Structure 1
Amino acid sequence: MKKNLILMIIVAIVLGYGYLSFNEANENASAKRDYVAFKADIAANQIRSVKIDGRSITGYRTNGEKFKVIMPMIDQDLLPKLEEHKVETTGVLPEEPSLLLSIFVSWFPMIILIFVWIWFMRSAQGGGKGAFSFSKSKAKEFREDEVHTTFADVAGCDEAKDEVKELVDYLREPGKFQKLGGKIPRGVLLVGQPGTGKTLLAKAIAGEAKVPFFSISGSDFVEMFVGVGASRVRDLFAKAKTKCPCIIFIDEIDAVGRKRGIGIGGGHDEREQTLNQLLVEMDGFEGNEAVIVIAATNRPDVLDPALLRPGRFDRRVTVGLPDIKGREQILKVHTRNVPIAEDVDIKMIARGTPGFSGAELANLVNEAALAAARKNKNLVSQAEFELAKDKLLMGPELRSKVMNEKEKINTAYHESGHAIVGRMLPDFDPVYKVTIIPRSRALGVTMYLPENERLSYTRSYLEDSIATLFAGRIAEELIFGEDNVTTGASNDIERATYWARNMVIRWGMSKKVGPQLLEGEESENYLGNSSSSLRAMSDNSQNVIDDEIRSILQKNYDRAKSILETNMDILHAMKDALLKYETIDSEQIDDLMARRPVREPDGYNTSKSADSGNDDQDKPQNPESGNGGDAPKAEPAREQQQDGAQNKPSKPSQDSF
């Protein structure tokens, strides 16, 4: 607040000085015109007397009128002219100007600019007490009694906790390890996707060990001046040595620890000097056995090899996405301070959120609490958790996005096609919910809920996924004809082609091509998965690959079409149910598949009556359908690229229209 006030005062002074300078220039211009007229009056004998005070002239005209005029510059011809025309003239002795005042006035603009430059430099470098304090470390220091996070606050990553528990034992009883000649790892690298709890785990280590904790981001080291980052590293470790034993936590270390020599012109001098200093501090001539460095990143592949060698970050702890048991534990941690109703089933919520990270689960609980608060409830019920889950997966309901009747019918048939084929295929996930309420960019959504965690995928599951993706377009084609299909299936076609292509060139699921890798350099695709380009090969081989991809797609397209042609009555009935209720869940889908009358969805009447007053987030729903290629994108398999080729569990799959 004080800095802002000082800046405002300085700006006001500069503007005022500029205004005065500009005003003085305007006065000089008008004074020149007045002075010319004054001399003309002297020549016409219209001036009776004058009094000269520097450049200011006052006096009286012959008609008794008083006047005042300013000389724009000293005029040597004025006095002879006044004497010639017999004008009574008096003068005022000028005051001697102050030397200090003259110097101050002449240097005032420069002084102001210097102060502004110093202020901006200190602000850019984080302030501080000294003029060169920006070379000091920006790490936040927490005393041993200020870190209250413990392992009880960390859930869903039991293996990672077991890996780091010995750090706590070492910090508590170092002699236990030293008497046998053992040395604790100097650096521990926490690797995992964003939101999996890497920072929380580091705090828990400090909280359990009851030692000082220094926290800093990797980007806080690098500045515009070469050598500042290295100076900050030295200052950080110097402070840490005075607090031994202690923990230094560097978040997003890839900001400063990237591989050297790969930047433009061979590298970045400031970043590389900072990295070099970090390497020396971690394993130089001086041992820092009582200073443990913990770093976190979700990009271990870009780190410099020297950081990962034994003696530095010689232990890598993977903090992965939680499984169903871990998600249940995380939800229990985040609902400890949230009043929940008796109908809330934590296990069911955990089962319905595969692929969610710890941060996403925390956001889920928070959204549920906010939804209950909007309805003036005292407890958070299962309905609010369902609403929050649907909002996070699909985005908020867009009831203001009005579809005409034809679009509604088209969307209803499209989503019904996805749901029917998904339910009829044995190896695919059960259909959980279908809606034609627009959400985010999707006009309608069909959601499938996996019964179990999937870490790898079979060929039959992938083929069932492709068939289900095509089902929406096939339903449009069967009802409206080939000439009236819409662009709503563009995202489905893109995803189906992606799976078929990877089955052929990457996963060895083609008899003609065989189990061989036919790809080049990896890259990140639109689904967040690693993709790769075809390596150099003959035209004949590329034709074989194209034929195999086309064969897989056509085979599953025909499977889906056959299922829908056999169950046209269910397709029409589900369309009618969607037009009536807008959203149906597994109970209504069971009725439709059994060709029974459709029961009314729970809360249907209340939700319909509340539509006019509630916002677009007061009705639960969930996703799995496509919106002209722009819908939320999900996939059956997301491959993990670090620490092995194991697949990551995916979130509930969705077909969006």
Structure 2
Amino acid sequence: MNENDPQPTGNPWLKSLMIWGGIFLGLLLVVSMFGDRAAPTGTPIAYSDFRDKVAEGSVREVQIAPDSISGTLKNDQAFSTIPVGSDPGLMTLLAENDVKYEGKAPDEPNLLLYILAQSLPFLLILGIAFFALRQVQKGGGAGGAMGFGKSKAKMLTEKQGRVTFNDVAGIDEAREELEEIVEFLKDPSRFSKLGGQIPKGALLVGSPGTGKTLLARAIAGEAGVPFFTISGSDFVEMFVGVGASRVRDMFEQAKKNAPCIVFIDEIDAVGRHRGHGLGNSNDEREQTLNQLLVEMDGFEANEGIIIIAATNRPDVLDPALLRPGRFDRQVVVPVPDIDGREKILAVHMKKVPLAPDVNSRTIARGTPGFSGADLANLVNEAALLAARRNKRLVAMQEFEDAKDKVMMGTERRSMVMTDDEKKMTAYHEAGHALVSLNEEASDPIHKATIIPRGRALGMVMRLPERDNYSYHRDKMHANLSVAMGGRVAEEIIFGHSKVSSGASSDIQYATDLARNMVTRWGMSDKLGPLQYEASQEGYLGMGQTSRTMASDETNKLIDAEIRKLVDDAHARATDILKTQEDKLHLLAQAMLEYETLSGDEIIHLLESGDIGRPDAPKGPTRPVSAGSIGVPKAGRKFGGTAPQGA
């Protein structure tokens, strides 16, 4: 959509043309002033030569002006000269030699040009001052240097890029909530005859990328009423009181265009809890929030103005902002489920030429947890990959490669790994995969690779079979075991002294999960279903911190329980890998040979001895020891992917 100020300011190109035109006219005026006096005509000669020619009888006639003499010789040649001082004998000389002479009055100056010439310096100074002031005003944003308190709200138009509810998919419940607001604006009598009142505001709450701003643009496209948009950060300035002034000015503009909608994006920038400062009652942000609260529901009613705000941090908003009468309804914009992802993909795939093998349902099933922005990025990455490969259509392979790139990172083809590093990585990832296959509650394996991607040398990626909205205790224990599988595989194959730092992210993941199980989710038998740790807003609102609510003795017990959970997971992974060491060797050898295996290929390999590829050798692969694993030649370059530690 195009965004214009509520009060159009004109064409900037026309303004520039007028300024330069004025400068050009001023130059012409200066030239005309100094070039207006007519210069004497004829060949200039010295005054003494002029007297000699008069004495010789060569001069026919002259015109005498106060500051010049011009005339014509008898041979019709024109001349001019400038008299030197006072020459009382000139008239006698002219008469004695029969020279016709006459006086010439001085040129009268143009009165208008004279006035302009006198006022030109002052006009020039005023012009420079006005131009400098305009530049300062532009630098100061809406209102500039002389109007800090003016609102920066923009009014959307529908000339280009109009978005409607047809462009919003995958968040049907949120869309229905906002469609009701649009219907109220279009036909308020339908609701008011039953005693219903127009809602004061709606708060869009959701994770980044779920489509909050897109919903707001859809409301603007559907409502058919003025739609003002502004960011929460646009209210806050270094000067106390400016934000409150901008809030007042924004509502003044909205009143003039009521009924209308005002959209405030990232409202948490100005709507955070009051009282987090150091007791300074003149805090600029709090002043702004106070003014916003008064304008939304104070003594003076602002009828016909609906406030729609968006945030991904509803926990930090002030309670007074969330009460009924201000934001009457909170619309949760969730991460889409599999059906929603399929609809979102269909919207974005309309712009892309697709090959017949593309199945949006398959892609949606393989992208759990993706937001609308993530899916849009996935489709875009697939189109870019197809373009780089000189294809006319985007095939399923491009979508699979784009999904790997988005979820696991870009392949690092320039990274060279030594034989020992590749062997260590192969056994590490094989340990993760083998433990995952033996844990019933674990998610299925999607892909395992030893190609470096992002910051990891390799990874085993698991995808859930369906969307999960909560996690059970058995799944958490399974995830702990899978996280320990890589470290245990290194210990079994290479020994305690050769364990690498490759499990750092696995250990961090396992520790965080175990701590949450003990302190937040009540999954410790010794500590019981109590919360011992809570998140709180950091000092002066700077980020999130964790606050432990326990005594020293309880903290020691918490640490012991966290240690026990991780040690138990380590023991389960050790038991699995030691009893299936032959399969660990088999899987590691296949990883070294093929670098990347899908989940189905891993299962086929462990059941039949081959990975099931047409180009792969048939028959069971001979189990080998760790020292006899064949590796590619040294110096071969690998690129890789690295998702979660497990």
TM exceeding 0.5 = yes
Q: Bigger radius of gyration, 1 or 2?
A: 2
Query: Contact conserved, 1:147 with 1:207, CA < 8 A, in 2?
Result: no
* Secondary structure, counterpart of 1:183 in structure 2: coil
Tell me which residue corresponds to 2:5: none
Whether 1:535 and 2:549 are equivalent positions in the alignment is: yes
Query: Contact conserved, 1:125 with 1:134, CA < 8 A, in 2?
Result: yes
Whether 1:440 and 2:454 are equivalent positions in the alignment is: yes
Whether 1:398 and 2:412 are equivalent positions in the alignment is: yes
Distance across 2 between alignment mates of 1:164 and 1:127: 30
TM-superposed CA distance for 1:117, in Å, is 6.8
TM-superposed CA distance for 1:451, in Å, is 0.5
Tell me which residue corresponds to 1:355: 369
Tell me which residue corresponds to 1:283: 297
Bigger CA drift: 281-290 or 396-405?
Answer: 281-290
What is the aligned counterpart of 1:497 among 499, 511, 514?
Answer: 511
What is the aligned counterpart of 2:530 among 516, 524, 544?
Answer: 516
Query: Contact conserved, 1:222 with 1:270, CA < 8 A, in 2?
Result: yes
Amino acid across the alignment from 1:386: E
What is the TM-score of this pair, normalised by structure 1?
A: 0.72
Given the superposition, is the C-alpha separation of residues 146 and 506 from structure 1 closer, same or farther in structure 2, using an over 3 Å criterion?
same
Alignment of 1:560-639 (within 5 A): 560-600=573-613, 623-624=642-643
What is the aligned counterpart of 2:213 among 173, 191, 199?
Answer: 199
Tell me which residue corresponds to 2:263: 249
Query: Contact conserved, 2:446 with 2:599, CA < 8 A, in 1?
Result: yes
Render the CA deviation track for 1:348-400: whole Å, top value 9, x for unaligned.
Answer: 11111111111111111111111111111111111111111111112110011
Distance across 2 between alignment mates of 1:597 and 1:537: 56
Amino acid across the alignment from 1:598: I
Tell me which residue corresponds to 1:335: 349
* Secondary structure, counterpart of 1:135 in structure 2: coil
Given the superposition, is the C-alpha separation of residues 261 and 517 from structure 1 closer, same or farther in structure 2, using an over 3 Å criterion?
closer
* Secondary structure, counterpart of 1:296 in structure 2: strand
Alignment of 1:424-463 (within 5 A): 424-463=438-477
Given the superposition, is the C-alpha separation of residues 471 and 593 from structure 1 closer, same or farther in structure 2, using an over 3 Å criterion?
same
Tell me which residue corresponds to 1:274: 288
Given the superposition, is the C-alpha separation of residues 114 and 483 from structure 1 closer, same or farther in structure 2, using an over 3 Å criterion?
farther
What is the aligned counterpart of 2:320 among 306, 319, 322?
Answer: 306
Render the CA deviation track for 1:229-252: whole Å, top value 9, x for unaligned.
Answer: 233222222222222221111101
TM-superposed CA distance for 1:598, in Å, is 2.4
Alignment of 1:130-149 (within 5 A): 132-143=146-157, 148-149=162-163
Tell me which residue corresponds to 1:469: 483
Given the superposition, is the C-alpha separation of residues 520 and 601 from structure 1 closer, same or farther in structure 2, using an over 3 Å criterion?
farther
What is the aligned counterpart of 1:126 among 115, 122, 141?
Answer: 141
Amino acid across the alignment from 1:588: E
* Secondary structure, counterpart of 1:311 in structure 2: coil
* Secondary structure, counterpart of 1:655 in structure 2: coil
Distance across 1 between alignment mates of 2:558 and 2:243: 51
Distance across 2 between alignment mates of 1:602 and 1:366: 32
Distance across 2 between alignment mates of 1:428 and 1:413: 20
Alignment of 1:50-129 (within 5 A): 118=133, 121-126=136-141
Amino acid across the alignment from 1:501: R
Render the CA deviation track for 1:10-34: whole Å, top value 9, x for unaligned.
Answer: xxxxxxxxxxxxxxxxxxxxxxxxx
Distance across 1 between alignment mates of 2:453 and 2:364: 23
Distance across 2 between alignment mates of 1:2 and 1:204: 32
Tell me which residue corresponds to 2:388: 374
Distance across 1 between alignment mates of 2:158 and 2:204: 22
Query: Contact conserved, 2:346 with 2:360, CA < 8 A, in 1?
Result: yes
* Secondary structure, counterpart of 2:533 in structure 1: coil
Query: Contact conserved, 2:142 with 2:150, CA < 8 A, in 1?
Result: no
- How many matched pairs? 515
Query: Contact conserved, 2:263 with 2:307, CA < 8 A, in 1?
Result: yes
Distance across 1 between alignment mates of 2:275 and 2:560: 43
Distance across 1 between alignment mates of 2:557 and 2:129: 72
Bigger CA drift: 352-361 or 299-308?
Answer: 299-308
Render the CA deviation track for 1:35-85: whole Å, top value 9, x for unaligned.
Answer: xxxxxxxxxxxxxxxxxxxxxxxxxxxxxxxxxxxxxxxxxxxxxxxxxxx
TM-superposed CA distance for 1:437, in Å, is 0.9
Render the CA deviation track for 1:598-632: whole Å, top value 9, x for unaligned.
Answer: 2338999xxxxxxxxxx999xxx8644xxxxxxxx
What is the aligned counterpart of 1:182 among 177, 196, 217?
Answer: 196
Amino acid across the alignment from 2:182: V
Distance across 1 between alignment mates of 2:252 and 2:142: 20
Given the superposition, is the C-alpha separation of residues 117 and 271 from structure 1 closer, same or farther in structure 2, using an over 3 Å criterion?
farther
* Secondary structure, counterpart of 1:594 in structure 2: helix
Given the superposition, is the C-alpha separation of residues 145 and 166 from structure 1 closer, same or farther in structure 2, using an over 3 Å criterion?
farther
Given the superposition, is the C-alpha separation of residues 326 and 531 from structure 1 closer, same or farther in structure 2, using an over 3 Å criterion?
farther
TM-superposed CA distance for 1:533, in Å, is 3.9
Amino acid across the alignment from 1:356: F
TM-superposed CA distance for 1:310, in Å, is 1.8
TM-superposed CA distance for 1:587, in Å, is 2.7
Given the superposition, is the C-alpha separation of residues 258 and 534 from structure 1 closer, same or farther in structure 2, using an over 3 Å criterion?
closer
What is the TM-score of this pair, normalised by structure 2?
A: 0.73
Tell me which residue corresponds to 2:402: 388
TM-superposed CA distance for 1:2, in Å, is 8.3
* Secondary structure, counterpart of 1:250 in structure 2: strand
Amino acid across the alignment from 1:553: V
Query: Contact conserved, 2:427 with 2:584, CA < 8 A, in 1?
Result: yes
Amino acid across the alignment from 2:519: I
Tell me which residue corresponds to 2:47: none
Given the superposition, is the C-alpha separation of residues 243 and 113 from structure 1 closer, same or farther in structure 2, using an over 3 Å criterion?
closer
Amino acid across the alignment from 2:138: S
Distance across 1 between alignment mates of 2:614 and 2:287: 64
Distance across 1 between alignment mates of 2:379 and 2:480: 33
Query: Contact conserved, 1:211 with 1:245, CA < 8 A, in 2?
Result: yes
Render the CA deviation track for 1:409-438: whole Å, top value 9, x for unaligned.
Answer: 100110010011111111100111011111
Query: Contact conserved, 2:235 with 2:270, CA < 8 A, in 1?
Result: yes
Tell me which residue corresponds to 2:34: none
TM-superposed CA distance for 1:530, in Å, is 8.0
Bigger CA drift: 192-201 or 158-167?
Answer: 158-167
Tell me which residue corresponds to 1:164: 178
Render the CA deviation track for 1:324-344: whole Å, top value 9, x for unaligned.
Answer: 111111111111111111111
Q: Which runs of 5+ in 2 are unaligned?
A: 1-11, 21-116, 618-636
Distance across 1 between alignment mates of 2:432 and 2:274: 50
Whether 1:297 and 2:287 are equivalent positions in the alignment is: no
Given the superposition, is the C-alpha separation of residues 584 and 557 from structure 1 closer, same or farther in structure 2, using an over 3 Å criterion?
same
Amino acid across the alignment from 2:137: R
Query: Contact conserved, 1:433 with 1:622, CA < 8 A, in 2?
Result: no
RMSD of Structure 2 on Structure 1 (CA):
3.4
Alignment of 1:34-45 (within 5 A): none
Given the superposition, is the C-alpha separation of residues 218 and 590 from structure 1 closer, same or farther in structure 2, using an over 3 Å criterion?
same
Distance across 2 between alignment mates of 1:157 and 1:603: 45
Tell me which residue corresponds to 2:378: 364
Render the CA deviation track for 1:511-539: whole Å, top value 9, x for unaligned.
Answer: 22222222255479xxxx98844323242
Distance across 2 between alignment mates of 1:249 and 1:174: 20
Distance across 1 between alignment mates of 2:229 and 2:139: 20
Tell me which residue corresponds to 1:552: 565
Report percent identity of matched pairs.
56
Distance across 2 between alignment mates of 1:162 and 1:288: 25
